[in-house]
Each structure stands twice: as C-alpha cells, then as structure tokens.
Amino acid sequence: MSENTAASRYAKSLIDLSTERNTLEEIKNDMMLLAEVVDQNPELEAILKNPIVPLDKKSGILDGLFVGKVNEVTSTFFKLMVNKGRSAILFDTAKAFIVQYNAIKGIVTADVTSATELTAESRAEIEAIVKKEIGANVVVIKEKVNDKLIGGFILKVGDKQFDASIASSLNKLKKEFAQGIV
C-alpha cells in the first residue's frame, strides 16, 4: 500500500470519526493547523519521517506543539499514528483530510493567474462560472499576478485549466501563421 493510499484511508477514518462525534469542523481546523505548522517547519516533517527518532520523542514533540490547541480526538489520533509507526504519513494524512473535507462540503480552489490584480467584479464572475461548471458550493480563489501575461487570465481548478490570456492567444496565432493555417 502506497503512503498516499494509507494517508487517504487514515484521513477517511478520521473524517468518519469526527462526523460521528460531531467535531468535523474542529478536526478540520486541527488538520489545517498541522499542515500549516509542518509547512512552516520542514524540520518537523523530517523528524516525523525519521525512523531513528524514538516514538516517545515524536509523541513528546507533537504534544508540546499541539496539546491544548487541538481537539482531544486529534491528540489521540496523533498518538495513535506515532505509536503505530505511521508518523511519516501524518502530514500527508492532514492534507488528505482537508481534500476529502473540501470534497464533502463542495469547496473547490480556483488558481487564477492574471496580468493585473482581479477586480471584485471579475473575482465574482470567475466564482460564478466555477460554481456553475464544477457544481461547487464554495469557491476559494487563489490569485497570482504575472506581468508577462499582457492581459487576460489563466484559471486552474483541480486538473482542468482554461487559458484566456492574451499571451496564449498570440502564441496560438503565431503557431497557426507558422503552419500556414491562417
């Protein structure tokens, strides 16, 4: 079983448990906290993945970082993962939990790269299009500005990409001229 598959299964189990205990939102926040802490401290992930570091030391580090800040279910889950020798996939499990939570709640992330910052109007328009096309309940827009685009935007949702940039249109036109199509 690959680490991603195992992480997804642990995440699913944690979602089921937190749904049963009516703590889904709280556990989601805990998983986001873990993901954020590991993103900001890559040493933590290295320690969790290192088989030489004793299990009690890993548990102590996690306790020091999270006890009192996370739900009791989350603390117990962390201990269980460490004691079962699965601390190496704790970060992947947190990310898988967030992905599965978003799928359950109909939350999608739209990455928008544009030549200039989006206006409130264009942001609302992109959100409406994504909601309609994907069937999402909530759209989280992550913006990036790339001044090389000239104009327009590139929208990416999951594995789908829509390129409405002027630079892309010009490149396409250039290729068509080169092939003698136009």
Strands (E), the chain: 107-114, 138-145, 153-157, 160-163
Q: What is the pLDDT of residues 57-93, one digit of tens each?
A: 999 999 999 989 999 999 999 999 999 999 999 999 9
CA–CA distance, 162 with 154 (Å, rounded to integer): 6
Residue 49's pLDDT is 94
Cβ(137)–Cβ(107) under 8 Å? Answer: yes
Q: What is residue 141's predicted lDDT score, i.e. its pLDDT? A: 87
Length of the chain: 182
Q: Which of 10-19, 23-32, 119-128 has the lowest mean pLDDT?
A: 119-128
User: How many H helices and E strands in the chain?
Assistant: 8, 4
CA distance 36 to 41: 9
Sequence-ordered alpha helix ranges (H) in 84-165: 90-105, 120-134
Structure tokens at 70: 């996370």
Percentage of the residues of the chain whose pLDDT score is greater than 90: 54
Residue 47 makes CB contacts below 8 A (sequence gap 6+) with: 53, 58, 61
Residue type, 56: D
Does residue 161 have a pLDDT over 80? no
Q: Is the pLDDT of residue 152 over 80?
A: no
Mean pLDDT of 115-121: 86
Name the band, by pLDDT with cuts 50, 70 and 90, for residue 140. confident
Per-residue model confidence (pLDDT) at position 168: 59
Task: Supply the pTM of this predicted model.
Answer: 0.76
The pLDDT of residue 182 is 56
What value does the mean pLDDT of the chain take?
87
CA distances from 113 to 29, 37, 153, 179 (A): 27, 27, 5, 29
Angle at 30 between CA 49 and CA 156, to 5 degrees: 85
Q: Average pLDDT for residues 18-31, to the nearest whole number?
A: 95
pLDDT at 167 over 70: no
How confident is the model at residue 98, as a pLDDT?
A: 94
What pLDDT, on the 0 to 100 scale, is given for residue 10?
A: 95
Q: What's the rounded Cα separation, in Å, for the pair 177 and 173? A: 6
